[in-house]
Amino acid sequence: MDLPIPRPNADTRPYWDAAQQDRLVLQHCADCGAPQAIPRSYCGTCHSADLTWRESSGTGKIASFSVVHRAPTKAFRDQLPYVLALVDMAEGVRLMLNVIGEDRLDTQIGDPVRVVFEPRGADGFKMPQVQRSPA
């Protein structure tokens, strides 16, 4: 069974289009400069609609994580156990991403990570995930 993939909308399409090119982009407000993790049509800080997309460094640190041993749906059973993490990105936003790789179960708070793109489904839709990086 294939893992689910998102359905991009007008606000999220630039994010997902960049991911298909192995790039992580984040919205930034052109008025106040605030970055935001969740794509939307206005700035969550000052409510301006003047938003731009900027390339992320793709690096961050684990702020918190959970090792998941019970799949939320049948599609995730083959992934067990998997690591779901809150990642503080270098740009100042926090993203929720899976930690992937052979050493994922060794994840610790504070671990440096880098964004990678994992293909899903028959079409290979790419999902941003993270892998642990050497310190």
Q: Using one digit for the tens of pLDDT, what is the confidence trace for 17-29?
A: 999 999 999 999 9
Nearest one of 67, 57, 47 to 25, comparing CA atoms: 57
Confirm if 95 and 62 have CB atoms less than 8 A apart.
no
- Mean pLDDT over all residues of the chain? 95
Report the run of H or E that residue 15 belongs to, with start and end.
Answer: helix 13-19
Domain boundaries, the chain: 8-55, 57-135
* CATH entry, 8-55, from 2.20.28, 1.10.3470, 1.10.10, 1.10.3210: 2.20.28
β-sheet bridge partners, residue 25 = 55
pTM of the model: 0.92
Q: Using one digit for the tens of pLDDT, what is the confidence trace for 83-130?
A: 999 999 999 999 999 999 999 999 999 999 999 999 988 789 999 999
Say whether pLDDT at 1 is over 80: no
**For residue 3, what pLDDT band results from cuts at 50, 70 and 90?**
confident
DSSP secondary structure letter of residue 3: P
Q: What fold is seen in the domain 57-135?
A: OB fold (Dihydrolipoamide Acetyltransferase, E2P) (2.40.50)
Angle at 76 between CA 72 and CA 81, to 5 degrees: 90
Q: Using one digit for the tens of pLDDT, what is the confidence trace for 4-47?
A: 889 999 999 999 999 999 999 999 999 999 999 999 999 999 99
Nearest one of 83, 122, 80 to 99, comparing CA atoms: 83
